[in-house]
A and B are shown apart, each in its own frame.
Chain A
């Protein structure tokens, strides 16, 4: 076996069998490749990386299946169904399918595919799930009102110097720091 091959297996071993530590790629390197990916997405498809748009498309498709009449008459989603094309056959939905595949791939390589609840140790599971659903609802409303989420609105917006992206940045992270003080007990154990 060549020396190079040996080196590679050793590298894999480090990730695969070292169960005690979570190993992540260098954040700056990850960010750099993420930046290149934004450029690729804009170059080929003219789309920014996004998530909430795909969520909305799925929600629209569900409503179209369940109550087609209501969906077509709704002034928010009706226009999206006007063309007659399936709302699921969009770039964003396929991108999200890809995201699922990519995440599983990475987690498999780095040995992170476990069923578990992620939370701060002091928080009970029940509370964590309750907070997760509340947070989700807020995101659902916020993304539709603000026209996008952290990736589609802020990241892709900042990439093209759009004012909207920077307002989103101030909104999400600026207010995030304020809310962080209010909800500190969710993440940090306080001695009471």
Chain B
């Protein structure tokens, strides 16, 4: 029964090897989906490219459904996995900072790594910035961030249980929301692409709506 490594069913060397393999597939999927193209990433915020929303929500919902079913069948104990503890204040503040970074920098850490690996110079510079930010955070942690980072502690909170509904129902609602967002973002994208230059369309790997 999973997860295997936290229960010491597989050893740490094998675990790290699996990490490498998962990374390869992860990197492949990100690149193949177009996440190394910074214009595609930014496109979600301006409506001309819905790829990020499509990939992101499909992935999250597929995993959410699969994990709940596997948990029910006893194949995996989700509570033994990396289950994020909620600290809502720093996560919201940090999220806002990341949101600004997303718009200004045009990447997130994972996609920038893929982009840098495939020869995007701006992504290399972006990664340099990320390290600057992390070093800055480490150096100023005690004086600036330690209180904020530990505030709003809620433990390992499940959003469905927090809302007072069942996990399955929450996932179902999210899937409806997901489908609705696909529809809306597709319409938004179509409204842009229908009078976009062919050059831009090629760069984004998009087609005009038929």
Contact = CB atoms under 8 A, between A and B. Distances in A.
A103 B27 contact: yes
A180 B106 CA distance: 11
Interface extent on B, as a size class? 35 or more
Interface-central residue, B37, B55, B113, B170, by most chain A CB under 10 Å: B55
Interface in B49-97: 50-51, 54-64, 66-68, 70, 75-76, 78, 80-88, 90-97
A99 B26 contact: yes
Interface in A1-41: 20-25, 27-28, 30-41
Q: Interface extent on A, as a size class?
A: 35 or more
Interface string A74-112: 111100000000000111101111111111111100101
Interface of A: 20-25, 27-28, 30-52, 55-56, 58-60, 63, 74-77, 89-92, 94-107, 110, 112-121, 128-129, 131-151, 153-180, 182-184, 186-188
For the complex of A and B, list the 10 residue pairs with the smallest distance between their C-beta atoms, beginning with the closest: A171-B95, A135-B105, A140-B133, A136-B129, A98-B23, A146-B94, A35-B62, A102-B27, A31-B58, A138-B101
22 contacts: A31-B54, A35-B59, A37-B25, A42-B2, A42-B3, A46-B5, A46-B80, A51-B108, A75-B141, A99-B117, A116-B119, A132-B107, A140-B134, A143-B134, A144-B94, A150-B109, A160-B83, A167-B91, A179-B104, A184-B46, A187-B39, A187-B43
